[in-house]
């Protein structure tokens, strides 16, 4: 199983707006399942309320790497473009793939 992770970073005042926006976006998950939105609450001993930026993750599980990449290059790419249009240029998004081991 492969997990597609997208981390959206914005000013911390925008965290609630990004969470609502992500939950409101209806994107085609294709072969993906268990989509979830989560907000980072601590990293390296620094709590989110002490940080300058907010990190919100959108994760979707896929049966294999190919389907995760296909989704990333298709429906997710459209979501990333919408994010840039709404929260850019200050907001940024980066993606990573995780293999369940």
For position 23, what pLDDT does the model report?
87
For position 30, what pLDDT does the model report?
64
Domain limits, the chain: 2-99
For position 43, what pLDDT does the model report?
86
| DSSP secondary structure letter of residue 62 | E
For position 26, what pLDDT does the model report?
75
User: Distance between CA 85 and CA 87 in Å, rounded?
Assistant: 6
* Tens-digit pLDDT string for the chain (101 aa): 999 999 999 999 999 999 999 988 877 776 678 889 999 999 888 888 888 899 999 999 999 999 999 999 999 999 999 999 999 888 999 999 999 99
Is 54:87 a contact under the CB 8 Å cutoff?
no
CATH 3.30.70.100 fits domain 2-99:
yes
Name the E strands within the chain: 2-11, 33-39, 42-43, 46-47, 53-62, 92-99
């Amino acid at each position: 199983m492969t997990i597609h992770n997208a981390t959206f970073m914005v000013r911390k005042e925008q965290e609630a707006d990004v969470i609502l926006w992500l939950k409101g976006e209806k994107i085609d998950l294709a072969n993906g399942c268990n989509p979830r939105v989560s907000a980072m609450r601590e990293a390296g001993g620094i709590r989110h309320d002490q940080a300058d930026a907010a990190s919100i993750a959108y994760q979707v599980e896929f049966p294999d790497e190919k389907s995760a990449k296909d989704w990333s290059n298709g429906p997710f790419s459209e979501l990333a473009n919408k994010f840039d249009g709404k929260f850019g240029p200050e907001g940024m998004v980066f993606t990573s793939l995780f293999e369940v081991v």
